[in-house]
């Protein structure tokens, strides 16, 4: 069982008031729904939200061979494939983030992710180039009239690891709304949405992990109708030729990201954007990443980065508001 305290984002304990909590393993992590109140209606709403996340996993997973995405991956290089609405919408959003991040966010990195997994030496030359030729969201053609997707190349493959959880959270929030829920938190790994406020207090308290110790809380943000997502290399990354390599790839080099960034936390109105942007900023690095945060309206964020002598520093956008546990973060 995964240690929930180790998650870089965690909902802090809320005051003793009736809450219903539902949890299920899904998408390689745990989905947790916490709703203010109690009773059958609330239990039903929580179950419906968790069902919705499971439904989206069956559409968007690239691990499940029978998912809609796997079907697209299998045949999208040969002919245009009609896809279900949810998959089409996630791909539309993915291409949007590809454009606004100058290619740093790219759902076609799947073959590169696989290339770097489980190997002793970094891929080079011809081997790397061949895989890179199949990477680039420009190779994905969407047709909005027919709802079809076509890959320009037989080896093109998509995975939605950096945006699918956010999309699933947003859909689950919609489900809670149809059940007239107005105070809840949906937590899917490192991507959360906070609906309304908890019964007591202003805003849901969400802990941001310390950049060097994911078990420690560096600060707390209080969120009302906001999403938050963190990207970082917290999971013990594996090593290739003695160098630590993380799970986020820089599509512009074909290599795992090797900049100074330790973690990125993004706060905005929807979980799809928070999920995608936290990954994009992680790839872009401190300067260009912060410029992206500043450029997109309604987005706030903080970047922790490695500094000299095993130290670290941080850069936050002007509107990023947190209560810091450690004074050194306060400006
Ligand atoms: P996590 O899902 O682990 O919390 P992210 O949201 O940052 O973290 O997504 C990372 C996942 O996205 C990777 O495991 C990989 O599957 C995929 N990925 C890696 N690099 C990129 C990239 N440059 N753009 C889009 N997706 C990526
Ligand atoms: Mg992400």
The pair of three-digit structure tokens given for residue 105, joined into one six-digit string: 């966010």
Determine the pLDDT at residue 239. Answer: 79
Given the CA of residue 250, which atom of ligand 1 is nearest to it? 23
The residue range of the domain holding 141 is 61-151
- Quick check: is 106 in a domain? yes
In this prediction, residues 29-56 reach a mean pLDDT of 96
Comparing C-alpha atoms, which of 199, 223, 203 is closest to residue 36? 199
Query: How many structural domains comprise the chain?
Result: 1
CA of 106 to the centre of ligand 1 (A): 9
* Spatial contact of 53 and 188, defined as CB atoms under 8 Å apart: yes
Determine the pLDDT at residue 100. Answer: 98
**Mind listing the pLDDT tens digit for each residue in 71-88?**
999 999 999 999 999 999
CA of 248 to the centre of ligand 1 (A): 5
CA dist 68 to 84, 87, 144, 259, Å?
8, 7, 17, 34
* Spatial contact of 208 and 220, defined as CB atoms under 8 Å apart: yes
Nearest ligand, CA of residue 253?
A: 1
In this prediction, residues 137-160 reach a mean pLDDT of 98
* Spatial contact of 196 and 182, defined as CB atoms under 8 Å apart: yes
* Spatial contact of 225 and 198, defined as CB atoms under 8 Å apart: no
Stretch (H or E) spanning 316: strand 311-316
**Mind listing the pLDDT tens digit for each residue in 100-145?**
999 999 999 999 999 998 788 999 899 999 999 999 999 999 999 9
CA of 186 to the centre of ligand 1 (A): 20
Asked whether the predicted pLDDT for residue 331 surpasses 60, the reply is no
The pair of three-digit structure tokens given for residue 163, joined into one six-digit string: 């945006």
- Quick check: is 96 in a domain? yes
- Quick check: is 175 in a domain? no
- Quick check: is 294 in a domain? no
Asked whether the predicted pLDDT for residue 178 surpasses 50, the reply is yes
CB proximity list for 56: less than 8 A, separation 6 or greater = 86, 164, 167, 168, 171
- Quick check: is 209 in a domain? no
- Quick check: is 131 in a domain? yes
Comparing C-alpha atoms, which of 70, 76, 51 is closest to residue 143? 76
Q: Please provide the distance, in angstroms rounded to a whole number, between the alpha carbons at the two ends of the chain.
A: 38
Helix axes 164-178, 271-284, angle to 10 degrees: 160
CA of 302 to the centre of ligand 2 (A): 15
CA dist 278 to 4, 154, 163, 230, Å?
20, 30, 10, 6
What percent of the residues of the chain are helix, what percent strand, and what percent coil, each to the nearest 5?
35, 30, 35
Site to probe by mutation for ligand 1, drawn from 232, 247, 254 as the one with most ligand atoms within 8 Å of Cβ, is 247
Nearest ligand, CA of residue 273?
A: 2
CA of 285 to the centre of ligand 2 (A): 15
CA of 161 to the centre of ligand 1 (A): 5
- Quick check: is 306 in a domain? no
Site to probe by mutation for ligand 1, drawn from 162, 234, 263 as the one with most ligand atoms within 8 Å of Cβ, is 162
Site to probe by mutation for ligand 1, drawn from 27, 245, 248 as the one with most ligand atoms within 8 Å of Cβ, is 248
Determine the pLDDT at residue 7. Answer: 40
**Mind listing the pLDDT tens digit for each residue in 229-264?**
999 876 656 777 777 778 999 999 999 999 999 999
Asked whether the predicted pLDDT for residue 157 surpasses 70, the reply is yes
CA dist 152 to 54, 79, 137, 141, 177, Å?
30, 9, 10, 7, 39
Nearest ligand, CA of residue 233?
A: 1
DSSP symbol at 18: -
- Quick check: is 176 in a domain? no
CATH number at residue 75: 1.10.3980.10
CA of 189 to the centre of ligand 2 (A): 10
Nearest ligand, CA of residue 159?
A: 1
Ligand 1 binding residues, C-beta < 6 A = 105-107, 109, 113, 159, 161-162, 189-190, 231, 247-249, 251, 275, 278-279, 283
Given the CA of residue 105, which atom of ligand 1 is nearest to it? 24
Determine the pLDDT at residue 105. Answer: 98
């Amino acid at each position: 069982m995964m240690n929930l305290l180790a998650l870089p984002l965690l909902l802090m304990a809320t005051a003793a008031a009736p809450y219903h909590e539902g949890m299920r393993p899904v998408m390689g992590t745990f989905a947790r729904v916490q709703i203010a109140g109690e009773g059958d209606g609330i239990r039903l709403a929580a179950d419906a939200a968790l069902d919705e996340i499971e439904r989206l996993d069956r559409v968007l997973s690239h691990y499940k061979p029978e998912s809609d995405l796997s079907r697209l991956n299998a045949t999208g290089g040969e002919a245009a494939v009609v896809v279900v609405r949810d998959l089409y919408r996630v791909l539309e959003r993915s291409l949007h983030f590809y454009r606004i991040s100058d290619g740093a966010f790219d759902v076609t990195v799947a073959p590169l992710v696989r290339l770097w997994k489980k190997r002793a030496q970094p891929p080079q030359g011809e081997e790397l180039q061949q895989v890179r030729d199949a990477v680039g969201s420009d190779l994905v053609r969407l047709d909005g009239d027919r709802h079809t997707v076509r890959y320009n190349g037989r080896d093109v493959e998509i995975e939605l690891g950096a945006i699918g959880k956010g999309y699933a959270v947003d859909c689950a929030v919609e489900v809670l709304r149809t059940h007239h829920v107005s105070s809840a938190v949906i937590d899917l790994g490192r991507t959360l949405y906070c609906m309304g406020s908890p019964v007591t207090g202003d805003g849901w308290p969400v802990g941001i992990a310390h950049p060097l110790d994911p078990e420690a809380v560096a600060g707390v943000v209080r969120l009302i109708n906001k999403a938050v997502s963190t990207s970082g290399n917290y999971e013990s990354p594996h090593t290739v030729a003695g160098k630590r390599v993380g799970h986020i790839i820089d599509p512009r080099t074909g290599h795992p990201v090797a900049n100074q960034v330790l973690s990125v936390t993004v706060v905005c109105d929807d979980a799809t954007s928070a999920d995608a942007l936290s990954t994009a900023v992680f790839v872009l690095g401190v300067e260009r990443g912060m410029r992206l945060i500043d450029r997109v309206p309604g987005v706030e964020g903080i970047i922790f980065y490695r500094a000299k002598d095993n130290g670290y520093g941080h850069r936050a956008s002007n509107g990023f508001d947190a209560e810091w546990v450690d004074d050194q973060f306060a400006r």
